[in-house]
């Protein structure tokens, strides 16, 4: 391969890399904005995962019972508030 062919290959690779990086679907600003309901549903899934993890870690002996109860209560209260808002938005 000659030096010129190497330069051409490098420039083509650079152009391809830039096109991939800055293509409109990859740009964060051009992504669709989530609705409040979509955000809340995602947050609900996160809270459910956190509750499952907390229960698992408590059963594995990583949390004292008092800490487990306090953490579980906090997560359950946040989930209840979230569910109330989700129900309100789904009715509207």
Q: How confident is the model at residue 27 (pLDDT cuts 50, 70, 90)?
A: low
- Selected residue with higher pLDDT from 11 and 31: 11
**Other residues' Cβ atoms within 10 Å of the Cβ of residue 67:** 12
pLDDT of residue 28: 58
Average pLDDT over residues 34-41: 92
Domain boundaries, the chain: 1-31, 33-92
pLDDT of residue 31: 59
Q: How far apart are CA 51 and CA 42, in angstroms?
A: 14
Per residue, what are the HEC states of 42-81? HHHHHHHHHHHHHHHHHHCCCCCHHHHHHHHHHHHHHHHH
- Selected residue with higher pLDDT from 22 and 27: 22
Q: What is the pLDDT of residues 53-64, one digit of tens each?
A: 999 999 999 989
């Amino acid at each position: 391969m000659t030096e010129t062919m190497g330069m051409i290959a490098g420039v083509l690779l650079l152009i391809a890399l830039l096109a991939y990086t800055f293509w409109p679907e990859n740009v964060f600003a051009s992504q669709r904005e989530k609705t409040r309901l979509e955000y809340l549903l995602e947050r609900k899934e996160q809270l459910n995962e956190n509750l499952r993890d907390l229960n698992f870690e408590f059963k594995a002996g990583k949390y004292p019972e008092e800490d487990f109860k306090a953490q579980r209560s906090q997560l359950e209260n946040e989930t209840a508030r979230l569910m109330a808002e989700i129900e309100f938005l789904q009715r509207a």
